[in-house]
Structure 1
């Protein structure tokens, strides 16, 4: 067989390091339980549904450029639509056997696939290598920013090794010739279900709103009883060394009698670390998680600003507050060991040294970043609606970097 019998394309360093980190930030602050064991996903429709439609903006230039690359390489210019876009993380124990991406009847519309790696094999995760059954390369060993493109049919039957450590994070797109499966039309329909006022300057316009609780509880089969497992949002905070404290401590007393702790995550929360508590409210668990993950993103890049004076109070935690924090943690992360296995850094990295002064400045930086994306999204929306297609308007300012 020749190379043309198994058409595939590798693009090294297609995504810039900071863009990889930006998409990782979006995923770790927004993901829900995924489609198979130990897999977590973030779709564009989910971002819209949780009042974070502005977070789809960084994806748009990537989608455009990848679609161009697929059409050019496979000789199908102007024939394709984007059928699916999603961020997917595979954690310890996740794997998939030999298959082609269209081998299920409800996925027959998929013609091509693009897998963009946001982190690196051997550095951020172990295992998880991508193998092709036939043709070359037979194994793809990715570094952050690399892209693998292939036909989603029997010519490119493939498998993914079991993850042994860390988290393998990818941006995955599927392309189709069937225009009835155009993802853009569906996304624009979701976006037009609510109104956006360009003159709205309130913080609430872009504060995330959590989806239903069972979308965040792992394993999903425990979501109806919450007898074991953990809330993935709380688990991500836990492995970074942060804890939650309800702004209204009396609400904790109320839920202790009803044993329904999930409602607390929809209410204002404060952030605790070691023996210190921040005297600042965050609207809900997703708001808090976005800020913390934004801190992780910016603190691991060269964009780290000089620390400023802390703009909020950081106070010692009292014994009663510590008890409430411990109680809430036990209810929301019943299996701390499993949470640390799936989300902990282990040998694939280390938690950052915390700096309250820098964290304080990050809260303001997150608001500026989010406000800019939201503003640009609102400016682009009428154009998207008119054309029934998501595309990037340079006049609205750059939000991504492709190499």
Structure 2
């Protein structure tokens, strides 16, 4: 294990791999990712979650596949089972204002200058929803035994990932606009007790991290309730 911040360690295998964008947070920080609590108010989150839950028709999310250099989205529900919602502009006003307020903090934390970004995706996970281990900028390469041997970059414009939780996790199960299960897990990052880093967030929390394979992650299956996140991927100039 390799220490990459004051409280977090990285798997030696992933730390030694070569890949295109090797962006990481300052190793002298407590954590190699940034968490902004109350990025958006609980009231604003509840309004967004109520809209997607009651009024919006979600589209089943696809997975980017690389076929001989051509990236093609395909529906593969053994890899991810979630739905994507489009939000009306009026529900995004508070999010955009808050992002503008916190942008410099994010840039300073990762020593980047954010440039362009994708549209905000509202990702819905209901009971049984999940997303297996993946890196946001790359496809995982495995051998015939299913072991990870490397990564092929398919989205070089993704430098920074932002995930805002619009609903809250509950250890004893979810009800209404809360959820049980569904933890966000970093597969190659560990705490001092050698446990994978995982998040059980509350509505309004934002998690920010580089999009490269060191920060490969998964969403564990939702046991019950309603898990909703607002996700963006950001291009950036790296200092």
Shorter-chain TM-score bucket reads 0.5 to 0.7
How many Å separate the matches in 2 of 1:80 and 1:67? 11
1:42 aligns with 2:85: yes
| 1:106, distance to aligned residue in structure 2 (A) | 4.3
**Which residue is 1:82 aligned to?**
117
**Which residue is 1:134 aligned to?**
188
1:125 aligns with 2:173: no
| 1:31, distance to aligned residue in structure 2 (A) | 4.0
Select the residue among 116, 129, 151 that pairs with 2:210. 151
How many Å separate the matches in 1 of 2:104 and 2:48? 21
In structure 1, runs of 5+ residues without a counterpart are 48-52, 179-403
The alignment's TM-score, normalised by the length of structure 1, stands at 0.39
Cα deviation code 1:364-390 (max 9, x no counterpart): xxxxxxxxxxxxxxxxxxxxxxxxxxx
Q: Which has the higher helix share?
A: 1
In structure 2, runs of 5+ residues without a counterpart are 6-25, 63-76, 140-152, 192-196
Q: Is the 8 A contact 2:160 2:236 kept in 1?
A: no
How many Å separate the matches in 2 of 1:88 and 1:66? 22
**Which residue is 1:112 aligned to?**
160
Q: CA RMSD in A?
A: 2.3
- The structure with the larger Rg is 1
Q: Secondary structure of the residue that 2:120 maps to in structure 1?
A: strand
1:20 aligns with 2:45: yes
Alignment CA distance shift 1:67-1:39 (3 Å): same
- Count of aligned positions: 170
1:94 aligns with 2:125: no
| 1:136, distance to aligned residue in structure 2 (A) | 4.6
The alignment's TM-score, normalised by the length of structure 2, stands at 0.63
Q: Which has the higher strand share?
A: 2
| 1:35, distance to aligned residue in structure 2 (A) | 0.7
| 1:125, distance to aligned residue in structure 2 (A) | 1.0
How many Å separate the matches in 2 of 1:81 and 1:159? 25
Q: Is the 8 A contact 1:10 1:149 kept in 2?
A: yes
The structure with higher relative contact order (CA 8 Å, sep 6+) is 2
How many Å separate the matches in 2 of 1:128 and 1:134? 18
